[in-house]
Amino acid sequence: MKVKETNMQDNRDQSESALEGLRVLDIGTFIAAPFSATLMGEFGAEVYKIELPGVGDHARRLGTPTESGDTLVWLSEARNKKSVCIDLRTTEGAEIFKSLVAVSDVVCENFQAGTLERWGLGWDTLSAINPRLVLLRISGYGQTGPNANLPCFGRIANAFGGLSFLSGEADRAPAQPGSATLADYMAGLFGAFAVQTALRARDRTGKGQVIDLGLYEGIFRILDEVAPAYQQNGFVRQREGAETPIVVPHSHYPSKDDRWLAIACTNDRIFARLVEDAMGRPDLVTDPRYATNAARILHRKEVNSIVTAWTITMPRDEVLSRCAKAEVPCGPVYSIDEIFEDPQYAARENILYFEDDRIGQFAMPNVVPRLEGTPGRINWLGPVLGSHTDEVLRDILHMDEAMIERLRKDGIV
């Protein structure tokens, strides 16, 4: 494994942050809404992670444990956040939270629908305290509808959203589409986008608003033409393994050295370059069975057999080289160890190596997307539970030490 030292001081001293001055309260758990807050924190928002005293976010125990006491998931996904312990279920804890809401811009939560209302922290209450507040609410099925009160996690959202049904081989049971947390990350992305949109609207109107997002909705949104194809033609897309139903060849193919590569011929011109320039088979361009994408779809097995018969004769790197020369989209099907060795990942600094006193060198995905003028950055890993509680109570809410000590003794913070 290649190891790269990254100077984090240089990273911190770059130009000003895009979201500097934005204060975010993250009261969610696990991944979905917290990921929205993480994305904002990477671009300069001041993010306070509100956690239950003595317990913390469940993400601290999700995934592989480390010697720091928290998991790899927490250290990576809670980066740039400040941990503040407040028991929102208590009357006094809820009052402290309300005081923070009064001086904040965004609240991110992903409890089951109705939870905030049971705590006396519903939208009516919070918006009365701060009319400019933006409240991001991510729940399994959204705040409305017959399923609103049902529990839900990423795996359920992948299934309910329609993606799991499409994942796997045609003659096998539906497979997990990559990761059970895909729905959480998709919801987090849509949530972060929605918050910025709501803040832009606030700039014009002076008013905040609620963002209501179901965990499954981000999954359903990315299913390309599945919905209109059903409505227009009654077509129910089935599992096709690595295949893409609407274009051929567009799949994964084996190489001589027992590796895999992806080839994507999304139109007839690319197919012509593949068979003529890369494969040396100009006869396939004029063959009526393969000349057009519509014809190739009808002869999918034959087309894939022809391509496979070619790729299997040489090492993966040679296939990649020939396709690149012919300007045919083609890439390796990477495992994580290959990603760590790849020069493109290195050149783009997609893997960030961070030095942390608790765990030493820590590798994680770098900030995405890349902004040249106001780049995102990572200043610290997921924080120690409650490590910023005193700072917030003292510096933001102006409590004295005696009050803070009393709150801690009573288990409120």
Active-site residues, by number, are 184
Residues 6+ away with beta carbon under 8 Å from 56: 83, 85, 385, 386
Helix axes 182-205, 32-42, angle to 10 degrees: 60
Sheet of 81-85: strand order equals 81-85, 46-51, 23-26, 106-109, 134-139, 209-214
Are 29 and 215 in contact by the 8 Å Cβ rule? The answer is no
Q: Which neighbouring-strand residues pair with 210?
A: 135
